[in-house]
Structure 1
Amino acid sequence: MPVTTEQFGTLPGNGAVTQYVLVNPKSRMTAKIIDYGATLTHLIVKNKQNQDVDVVLGYDSIEGYRTDGNPFFGATVGRWANRIGEAKFSINGKEYKLFANQAPNHLHGGKEGFDKKMWKISPISQDPPSIECTYLSPDGEEGYPGNITVTCKYTLTDAGEISMEYNATCDAETPVNLTNHSYFNLGGVEKASTIKNHTLELFNVKYFLEPDDMSVPTGKLIPTHAHPAMDFSAQHGNAHKTLGSRLSHAPGGMGYDQHFVANPDTKTYRIDPSSIRDVAELKAPDGSLTMTVATTDPGFQIYTGGFIQAVPTNQSKQTQLANGKPVQVGQYAGVCFECSRFPDAINKEDWRAQCLLKPGDTYKSQTIYRFTA
């Protein structure tokens, strides 16, 4: 069966955690998703050598995902992905205060965001294999107004893709910003300890958001060509340099944690939810695997894992190198492409329309990660 289930441990007070296994024999891909955080735990694809490669970082047990040091491996992030400045915003003159878990700012939904919630998962298709994850976020959760119902649909397509489709509805005006927080390593997370030898190209990405000292956007767009480390275009000869050669030159000096603009051509920087476009291409060091990122969202955060704390090898699934030595999962072990609305958009007048969900409207977005050998 293309969609099956297996136990993934238990949570105190919540009972069993279930892992859903999606297999597409046509694209020869396997994805595993748990109902805790609607989290992608494994994504196995075939490389040029016809080898199975698990390309996402994660843990082999629920205990790993519950640790304080878990850097959102594979999680569905909400009600707000990325940062809200000073952990507050106003709607119709009323101020709402959020939990400042990255003081003074609010990050990835707060103290217990969607990544720490139990989702209801239902298989919705066997061919192609697809599941729908649902969560009801109550009014007042983490300080946000309104009840919202969120769905995340995972599909393994016949074309070698994993598709993630997000929808949300509400009963009161509220900011919504959803993303997936998978860390990718195309060398295979059981063999390659970092992504420093990967290369990256961005397609028609002309701007990134200027960050302040705490990585909250100032509201200003900076041309990528104005900062050599931020230009990944083939046009300027920057598409095939290794990430390792550029990490120390990124703003902040700890690798990349910046938000790039996917479509700068409209005033509100929105993309039609029905229109998806390629924005990035990541390549494995030996050329054995390529991942293309496509999204309907107005932007995406590239994070190269500069602040990943070393993960004990007995907790991670990355247990053995080819030579039999344990992998130490830590800094720069993977790279994220967090497609979303702009960080702090709710506090920026020109960006606010991206993220302010109103009763009767539906939040929509889709991200696709496509793999070719």
Structure 2
Amino acid sequence: MSKVRVVNFEPTSKGENTHLYTIENNSGASVTLCDLGASVVSIKVPDKNGSIRDVVLGYEHIDGYEFDGTYFGATVGRCCGRIAYGKFTLNGEDYQLPVNNGSNHLHGGFNSFSRKVWLAVVDDKVPNTVLFMLDSPDGDEGYPGNMKVFVRYTFDDENVLTIKWSAVSDKDTICNMTNHSYFNLNGHKSGKVTENHKLKINANFFIPINSNLNPTGEITPVKNTSFDFTEPKLIGNGIDRKNEQIGFANGIDHMFVLNHSDEEFVLAAEAEGIDSGITLKCYTSQKGVHVYTANYVDVSSNMGKDSATYGENPAFCLETQGFPDAVNHKTFPTTILKANENYTQTTKYIFGINK
């Protein structure tokens, strides 16, 4: 029998009802999801002393998820990351998307997937799973094609959260989805992650950005740069304020090109909260992981869940995805989804303990 608990949350500003879906495993660990944005609201796992800690940032009320600009836990699409000036050309036709981040289109626009209420399905025959579904019409935030989108969350007894995205469109379009959870493995209220989290990234190359935070089109070795996380190191040791790339983003906000093998899933990153002993391994079918050190977070105690205040660098994000702004860079692997073809990607977040 499915161990999914469903409770009412709060209505949106449009009067839409929202709900919280909690998947609890046999050890008492749990993941809570919301149908607004098909979002991750909490991940509660044991630390080295056996105490349960919530290791993702979140909001206390629905308006945070609906209006704030952090995208806490959200399913992001149709295209995550930035599209320069909101412009691209597809099949000889020019498209102008809404510009919602300086001069760029970010994370799908103003009314993106993260701002919509998804249809949720809980099936007793599929234990520990919640399936979210969304119809995105032709022209939604400027994107072509009627698209059907599915996001499936499963949380098992080994404390593995599996996220599977799938989509199909009746026209050629762009599709590059991710989950935007903010991880603090010492607990979401424990403050900065820079000096008490170790991070390792399975990437020998990263993608530099310009002053508008868009990719330059280069793919650059991490060796001898602050972006070298090929061995575990404190997150703060990668935030070299003298580095021009770090200066552009006020921290790390960059795509790391994963060292892929022939296997379906590749280990993208490993992290550890030094105080809690909680570890995280991220496996993905994607070509890269966008690492964000939460450089511009500013959430007051009246908005953060459990009355938490979140300031600069309170978490890190491991956003598994295709290359940023790929539609405008012919040398990048494409993020174009052909008509009637299936988009499928999977990411696993595996939680453990280093005692």
Instruction: Give the corresponding residue for 1:159.
Output: 158
1:338 correspondence with 2:332: no
Instruction: Give the corresponding residue for 1:219.
Output: 217
Contact 1:208 1:223 in 2 (8 A): yes
Give the secondary-structure state (helix, strand or coil) at the position aligned to 2:240. Answer: helix
Instruction: Give the corresponding residue for 2:282.
Output: 293
1:252 correspondence with 2:246: yes
Instruction: Give the corresponding residue for 2:91.
Output: 92
CA RMSD of aligned residues (A): 1.7
1:14-35: CA deviation from partner (whole Å, max 9, x where unpaired) = 4321111111114x32111111
Equivalences for residues 131-170 of structure 1 within 5 A: 131-170=130-169
Give the secondary-structure state (helix, strand or coil) at the position aligned to 2:18. Answer: strand
Q: CA deviation at 1:226?
A: 4.0
Q: CA deviation at 1:264?
A: 6.2
- Quickly say closer, same or farther: Cα 1:344–1:332, change in 2 above 3 A: same
Gaps of 5+ in 2: none
Report the Cα distance in structure 2 between the residues aligned to 1:260 and 1:360, rounded to whole angstroms.
30
1:250-291: CA deviation from partner (whole Å, max 9, x where unpaired) = 5233221010001468xxxxx87xx11111111112361110
- Quickly say closer, same or farther: Cα 1:287–1:3, change in 2 above 3 A: closer
Q: CA deviation at 1:85?
A: 1.3
Report the Cα distance in structure 2 between the residues aligned to 1:340 and 1:299, rounded to whole angstroms.
6
Contact 2:118 2:132 in 1 (8 A): yes
Give the alignment partner of residue 242 of structure 1, picking from 221, 234, 239: 234
Contact 1:81 1:177 in 2 (8 A): yes
Equivalences for residues 53-132 of structure 1 within 5 A: 53-67=53-67, 69-124=68-123, 128-132=127-131
Instruction: Give the corresponding residue for 1:36.
Output: 36
Task: Give the AA of the match of 1:132.
Answer: L
Q: CA deviation at 1:317?
A: 1.3
1:316 correspondence with 2:304: yes
Report the Cα distance in structure 1 between the residues aligned to 2:325 and 2:265, rounded to whole angstroms.
23
Give the secondary-structure state (helix, strand or coil) at the position aligned to 2:10. Answer: strand
Task: Give the AA of the match of 1:362.
Answer: N
Q: CA deviation at 1:78?
A: 0.3
1:39-93: CA deviation from partner (whole Å, max 9, x where unpaired) = 11111011111010100000121122233x3400000000110011121111111
1:209 correspondence with 2:207: yes
Contact 2:239 2:246 in 1 (8 A): no
Task: Give the AA of the match of 1:252.
Answer: I
Gaps of 5+ in 1: 266-270, 320-326
Contact 2:268 2:288 in 1 (8 A): no
Contact 2:228 2:238 in 1 (8 A): no
- Quickly say closer, same or farther: Cα 1:10–1:285, change in 2 above 3 A: same
Q: CA deviation at 1:159?
A: 2.1
Give the secondary-structure state (helix, strand or coil) at the position aligned to 1:66. Answer: helix
Give the secondary-structure state (helix, strand or coil) at the position aligned to 2:11. Answer: strand
Contact 1:207 1:224 in 2 (8 A): yes
Give the secondary-structure state (helix, strand or coil) at the position aligned to 2:223. Answer: helix
Counting aligned pairs with the same residue, the percent is 33
- Quickly say closer, same or farther: Cα 1:351–1:188, change in 2 above 3 A: same
Instruction: Give the corresponding residue for 2:227.
Output: 230
Contact 1:123 1:131 in 2 (8 A): yes
1:15 correspondence with 2:16: yes
Instruction: Give the corresponding residue for 1:261.
Output: 257
- Quickly say closer, same or farther: Cα 1:36–1:56, change in 2 above 3 A: same
Task: Give the AA of the match of 1:16.
Answer: N
Compare 35-44 and 98-107 and name the one that shifted more: 98-107
Report the Cα distance in structure 2 between the residues aligned to 1:46 and 1:202, rounded to whole angstroms.
24
1:165-190: CA deviation from partner (whole Å, max 9, x where unpaired) = 00010000001010000000000113
Give the secondary-structure state (helix, strand or coil) at the position aligned to 1:346. Answer: helix
Q: CA deviation at 1:13?
A: 3.1
Q: CA deviation at 1:160?
A: 1.5
Contact 1:2 1:126 in 2 (8 A): no
TM-score by length of structure 2 reads 0.93
Give the secondary-structure state (helix, strand or coil) at the position aligned to 1:231. Answer: coil
